[in-house]
Amino acid sequence: MDRRADRGIAAPLPRDIRKTAIDPDYWYPLARSRDIPRGGKKGVSFAGEPIVLARTETGHIFALEDRCAHRQVPLSLGEVRGERLLCGYHCWAYNTAGACINVPYLDKDKSLPNGVKSYPCVEAYGLVFVYPGDVNAAGIERFPHIPTWGDPAYKTRYLDRRIDCHYSFMHENLMDMNHQFLHRSLMGSINPTALDIREGDGWVEVDYTFHRARGKQPIGEKFMLGRRSKAPNAKSEAREDKDIMTIRTGYPYQTLQFWTAGSSEPALDLWNAYVPIDAEQRKNHTFGLMMVRKPGVPGAIHLLWPFIIAFTNGIFGQDEDIVEAEQRAFDAQGEDRNNEIFPIIQKLRHLLVTQGRPIPGVE
C-alpha cells in the first residue's frame, strides 16, 4: 500500500510551487491611488520589472518602465511637468505612452531616441492596477469585480505591506484555517471545521464553520464580527444555523467572506492580491481591501475601528512572521518539501502551479 496515500499526501506537483511565477496576464494592484497625487510619481516593481506610476497635472494616470532610455536611471527619480515625465538626470521627456518627445540638447538634424515600455494602467477601488503581461491580451474583462467596495454599509481597511515570501505561501496561509493555532495568543482556542470544498476552472473555495474551545472572544473580533457564542449551533446540521467563512482563490486573487449565522450579508468581505516584487518572486507586496459591515448604530463603526485595526494588525503580524519563516526554510532547503494532508490545500497548490509559469533562470 502507498504510504503517502495512506497519510493523505497528494501526488507530486508538476513543478515546484515556490519556483512558479505568477501569470502576468492579469491586472495587479501596484500602489494605492492616494500615493500618486496629481504631479506625483512612485517607483514600484512587478516580478523584477521596475515600473514608474505617475499622474499628470491634469490627472491622467500612467505606468512606464522605470528606466530612462538614455542612462537607465529610474524615471521615478524625475519630475512630472504638465503631461510629461522628465528624467531627473538630463531632462529627457516622455509622454504618457512612453515615447521620448524631447531631448533638450539633441542636434536639430537627429531624430528623437526610442522611448520606454508602457503598461496598461487602470485605477479602481482606491488602487492603481497595471497589466504586466501580453498587452494584446489585456482585456478589461479580466479586471477584478469587487461589488462590496463602495457599498455604504461597509467600511474598508486597506492592506498595503511588503512580505518577504513567495505569493503561494500567502494563499495557503489564509485558506488553511487550521492555522488558527498560530493566533491562539490573540484569538484563544478556536476549532475550525471544513464543511464543503468546491472547485472550477481557475478557482477553488472552501467553507468553514468554527467553535471556540477555550478562551474569551477578543474585543477586536467582537467589534468586527459581533459577539459569537462559544459553540454556535455546533450540533445543528443546518448551514443557516452556523457561522460560515468562505475562502476562495479565484486566480490570482483571494477572497474571504464571513457570514454570521442566519445573516444574508457578510460581516466581513476581504479581497487580496499578492504581487511578486522581485524576479525570483521570493517577496510580495500584499494589497488588500478588508470591508467590514457597519453596525446598526450610525457612526458606531468609527468608535470600533481602532480596535478592529489593532486586532487585525496583530493577526497580520503573526501571519507575516510565519510565512517569512516558511520562505527561509525553502531558501535553506532549495526546494519545497511540504507534506500537505489537507485536501483543500492540495487543490489550491495544484491550482497555483498549473495557472503559473516557470521562473526564468530558476530550475
Contact residues for a copy of itself (CB under 8 A)? Answer: 3, 6-9, 48, 50, 67, 69-74, 77, 86, 88-91, 103-107, 110-114, 176, 178-179, 181-182, 191-192, 194, 321-322, 325-326, 329-330, 332-333, 337-342
Cβ distance to a copy of itself smaller for residue 263 or 338: 338
Virtual torsion, Cα 262, 266, 268, 273, nearest 10 deg? 140
User: Is 121 within 8 Å of 106 (Cβ atoms)?
Assistant: no
CA–CA separation, 250 and 270 (whole Å): 13
Strand partners, 313: none
**Cell numbers 459553540: residue:** 231
User: Is 101 within 8 Å of 93 (Cβ atoms)?
Assistant: yes
Question: Minimum Å distance from CB 144 to a copy of itself?
Answer: 28
Question: Minimum Å distance from CB 68 to a copy of itself?
Answer: 9
Cβ distance to a copy of itself smaller for residue 9 or 99: 9
Phi then psi dihedrals of residue 256, to 5 deg: -140, 130
With CA atoms as reference, report the closest residue to 323 among 182, 184, 173: 173
Write the DSSP assignment of 258-313 as a string of letters: EE-TT-SS-SEEEEEEEEE-STT---EEEEEEEEEEPPSSTTHHHHHHHHHHHHHH
Question: Minimum Å distance from CB 6 to a copy of itself?
Answer: 5
User: Is 292 within 8 Å of 157 (Cβ atoms)?
Assistant: yes
Question: Minimum Å distance from CB 100 to a copy of itself?
Answer: 10
Virtual torsion, Cα 257, 17, 279, 130, nearest 10 deg? -30
Question: Minimum Å distance from CB 154 to a copy of itself?
Answer: 31
Cβ distance to a copy of itself smaller for residue 217 or 338: 338
Cβ distance to a copy of itself smaller for residue 111 or 264: 111
Burial 228-250 (b: 16+ CB within 10 A, else e): beeebbeeeeeeeebbbbbbbbb
Cβ distance to a copy of itself smaller for residue 95 or 263: 95
Q: What is the CA radius of gyration of the chain?
A: 23
Question: Minimum Å distance from CB 133 to a copy of itself?
Answer: 21
Cβ distance to a copy of itself smaller for residue 293 or 347: 347
Question: Minimum Å distance from CB 137 to a copy of itself?
Answer: 26
Cβ distance to a copy of itself smaller for residue 2 or 141: 2
Question: Minimum Å distance from CB 140 to a copy of itself?
Answer: 31
Cβ distance to a copy of itself smaller for residue 158 or 342: 342
CA–CA separation, 30 and 36 (whole Å): 11
